[in-house]
Structure 1
Amino acid sequence: MKLPFFKKKITGEVTEKIFETPSIEAKDIIAPASIAVTPDNLKLGKRYAKAFFIFSYPRYLSTSWFAPIINLSTPMDISFHIHPVETGLILKQLRKRVTEVQAELMERGEKGLIRDPALETAFHDLEGLRDRLQTAQERMFKFGLYLTIYGNELKEIKDTENTLRSILESRLIYIKPALYQQKEGFNTTAPYGLDQLMVHTPMSTLPFSSTFPFVSFDLSSNEGILYGINLHNNSLVLFDRFSLENANFTIFAKSGSGKSYAVKLEILRSLMLGIDVIVVDPENEYQFLAETAGGAFFNMSLASQSHINPFDLPTPREDERSEDVLRSNVINLVSLLR
């Protein structure tokens, strides 16, 4: 019988792993030197961060009420988390609530009590919302709005917090810091698409549309993808270059100004509209983008497994004949070999 614990231990590999130098990755370069989490703020290296959430809204929201916050010169991260709610479930809850309010109004009327304006207003609001949901004029959402502000000192954080409170409370909108949840609040406002705070307010389409921060009567187009913001009137620049007679365009800018970023952003937004994109990439700069978006990357070289076959015949379209496709490819090959 062999006993495994009498085997000679191999320590050479373990010793090499202990003294092996770990490789430096991109996350090691961009990560802060330290992260300190306190109940009411985060310290990322030498800078402070503090996360907030909006928990109360007034009965009416005016258009562009959020624009003063976005136009602040203070660095901050803002995150909208929108969760659609099934209309049938909301209608059942509204029916129950309308019944309760109507019963209370009838009871007050039978007792001869004076009218309650707040109760009557709530009844009319509930009935109006039911009608709009029933006719599919509106939808219901669970909406969470979160902010993370940054500063070099705690006093700077406090001043920014006072500015936010004064702007929002003048519109009867109230915020709270994410106490003991600063890490979750920071992750919620980061571009991860994660709602870790889960502080939601039920909101229908009409008041929800007022949170859209770009308010202008001028739009460059009603179709296409978003290219940026018009600095003159704060409107969105929407453009569909495939609607023109010639859809070609060229980007000129100095080195490091963001040409590649702009092209990659346009590719992602074009994919959302169902546009097929083919990139000739001699520097393998778009490989990660292609793999992330679910595309295909072909490495064309003498040593690679992917090759272009010039003798390959394409599948004829519905309006083409097979002999015409063959004739066209023969002509192309003859011109290529010449």
Structure 2
Amino acid sequence: MMNANLPLLNKLSPDSLYEDENYVRSGGNYTRTYCAVEFETVISQDHIQHLNEISENVSVTQYLKEYDREMALKQISLSNKQNRNKVTSRFVTDDIKERAKAEIKDNEMLLRNLSIKNERMFYFQLLIHIVASSKEELDSLSQLVRSKAGSICKLVYPRLRGKEAFDSFLPFVNNKVYDLTYRPMTSEAVSYFFPFHENEIYHENGLIYGTNISTGNIVKVEDRFLVNKHMFILGISGSGKSTFTITYMLRKYMKNERIIAIDPKGEYGQLFEKLGGEWIKFKLDGDTIINPFDIPVVSAQADDEGNTVETNALYDKISTLIIMFKLMYRNMTDLKEDVLSEILLDLYASPDFGPVSITPKTDIKKLKPTDMPTMLDLYNFLSDLKNKDRKRYDILEEFHQTLSAYAKGIYQNIFNGHTNVDTKSNLVVYDIKPIAKIEKVKRVAYFNILASQRYEIINGDGKDTNLVVDESHNLADPNVVVAMEYLFEMMKVLRGFNCAIVCATQSLADFLSAKTQHRNYGEAVILQSVQQLYLRMKSQEVKMVNEHMNLNLSEDEMSFLTVKEGLKESDSGKGFFYVGSSKVKMEVFLTDIEEELWFKKNYKVLEQ
């Protein structure tokens, strides 16, 4: 039995100890125990936390002993008396006098705290113990520790008392180098040296998002208990946005939630199809249509308090069409918008365009998709207007010409016709990569899909739904701010329908470009998202994010968030994750099956 436990016993009680002037060798390990002898006047708790997180080979030991309060008051009073003598002495240099004045000020504050706030005083001692498998590793770790500790205290290695320092680190509560390390501190000052991780994000029964880099714990989120389920993801290309997004979608899908993704880069379609989902592609020569003129049975908006209010479906549809046409035709003025709104009402009501006349009083439940007008119907309606109402037509003549490409020209196979897609699956991806290089068409298609999904969710069964709006900066147009405003308003409405909207982008500057004199709607979308993930970026983007989003990141945190040139692969999937005010340093990870599906495209694992 003794032989079986020998490896463990050797670790607990090594067979030999050797003391050198620069280290203590314990068995096969090299150790060094530093003493903190001087502390900075102003200390950041973040720096103390970083010191605790350097390495598993670095341990921090603290000794506390309560200091008699009356004795402390006497010592402080005596110190003040001595410092006043220095201030008035003609034999003391000016710099010593200034230091004495500063100490008097600090002591008076300490006296107030001890007398009025009933603070307690402690003798505080700090030891930092380093263990390494070689002398070289010990020296390297020692240099790192001294560097990190520099903003907190001065470290010394007691060369002639190295063994005593080593003994003081052991869990026997016996500090043999007490005389080198003690420092009187108030209870408030001492508390700074216990940097607990208050912002651990771990919700019971939640979804696993990644690991907390600082503690190694799992990051789990149960978004049903949050104010809303929305999320914002930011990071440069290659930072791990898509990897996080796919893990989020797959894990949500495994929990029987509905997943709908708008995919401008064509990344998710094949996997969704292999999982039994719908891969809906939009191509110039395709036949997939979502009719922009479809009217929902129920339509809703959010009031100023964020409450959902039902609205007239036809009026709501026309206001949505106007936004889409603004993206299509950039020269839309207020006059043209007003005239076009009238014409759209006339188009829906006309018996000559479509099998039924649709008015604000029509019972939409009785209509079929084929009862709706199409893009070509609007084009032909405007053509007729040329002869019937020249004054109104002249206002929209340029728009009519632009509309031609979408109604009967090169883009007709995307926008003209009745809806023919099936979105009853719990896993649906809208792939617009084939038109991604045609910027204006991509933006219109993107908005059309987004608007259709808003109506689908409002009129759905209330099932938990996740709408992933990838590359969402496509909606940000400084000339058509209402598109981003639409997304913002949509987030307010759909939170009442068990829907999470996940916006991902690689460009904060583009995302924030949709603004008026009174409001930045890109920023409003971000602030509407309770969950926010900031993955690694270039240094100038980190500065912009920190300043514009008021993240208050420290220099070390900004450095962590900055991608190192040529190290994208090792940097990928790391960043800061927020849930409300809670923040953790997180790394995304994939399960073995997720890695096979996502990185290796090995879909055979689904057959096992």
The TM tier, using the shorter chain, reads: 0.5 to 0.7
The CA deviation at 1:235 is 12
The CA deviation at 1:104 is 3.4
SS in structure 2 at match of 1:65:
helix
In structure 2, the partner of 1:124 is 105
1:195 pairs, out of 172, 175, 191, with 175
SS in structure 2 at match of 1:64:
helix
Residue by residue over 1:259-308, the C-alpha shift from the partner in whole angstroms, topping out at 9 and shown as x without a partner, is xxxxxxxxxxxxxxxxxxxxxxxxxxxxxxxxxxxxxxxxxxxxxxxxxx
Preserved CA contact (<8 Å) 2:130 2:141: yes
SS in structure 2 at match of 1:53:
strand
Preserved CA contact (<8 Å) 1:80 1:145: yes
CA distance in 2, matches of 1:175, 1:184: 16
1:60 pairs, out of 42, 46, 50, with 42
In structure 1, the partner of 2:140 is 159
CA distance in 2, matches of 1:178, 1:82: 20
1:144 pairs, out of 121, 125, 132, with 125
The CA deviation at 1:233 is 8.0
CA distance in 1, matches of 2:65, 2:96: 37
In structure 1, the partner of 2:270 is none
Alignment of 1:8-27 (within 5 A): none
1:48 pairs, out of 30, 38, 43, with 30
User: Which structure: larger Rg?
Assistant: 2
- C-alpha distance 34-207 of structure 1, shift in aligned 2 (>3 A): same
CA distance in 1, matches of 2:66, 2:72: 11
1:96 pairs, out of 78, 89, 113, with 78
CA RMSD of aligned residues (A): 3.4
In structure 2, the partner of 1:184 is 164
CA distance in 2, matches of 1:219, 1:88: 43
The CA deviation at 1:173 is 1.7
CA distance in 2, matches of 1:24, 1:233: 37
Aligned residues: 203
CA distance in 1, matches of 2:86, 2:38: 25
Q: Match for 2:159: what amino acid?
A: L
The CA deviation at 1:125 is 0.7
SS in structure 1 at match of 2:44:
coil
The CA deviation at 1:232 is 7.8
The CA deviation at 1:52 is 0.9
1:174 paired with 2:137, answer no
TM-score (norm 1): 0.52
1:72 pairs, out of 54, 60, 65, with 54
- C-alpha distance 213-102 of structure 1, shift in aligned 2 (>3 A): same
Residue by residue over 1:190-248, the C-alpha shift from the partner in whole angstroms, topping out at 9 and shown as x without a partner, is 1111111102111112221111121425799xxxxxxxxx9488699xxxxxxxxxxxx
Q: Match for 2:186: what amino acid?
A: S
CA distance in 2, matches of 1:80, 1:161: 18
Q: Match for 2:100: what amino acid?
A: L
Preserved CA contact (<8 Å) 2:121 2:185: yes
- C-alpha distance 218-150 of structure 1, shift in aligned 2 (>3 A): closer
The CA deviation at 1:151 is 1.0
In structure 1, stretches of 5+ residues that fail to align are 1-22, 221-229, 237-338
Q: Match for 2:161: what amino acid?
A: Q
TM-score (norm 2): 0.30
In structure 1, the partner of 2:115 is 134
CA distance in 1, matches of 2:192, 2:96: 32
Deviating above 6 A after TM superposition, structure 1's stretches of 4 or more consecutive aligned residues are 23-28
CA distance in 2, matches of 1:90, 1:148: 30
1:81 paired with 2:63, answer yes
CA distance in 2, matches of 1:233, 1:154: 27
Preserved CA contact (<8 Å) 1:34 1:44: yes
CA distance in 2, matches of 1:139, 1:235: 34
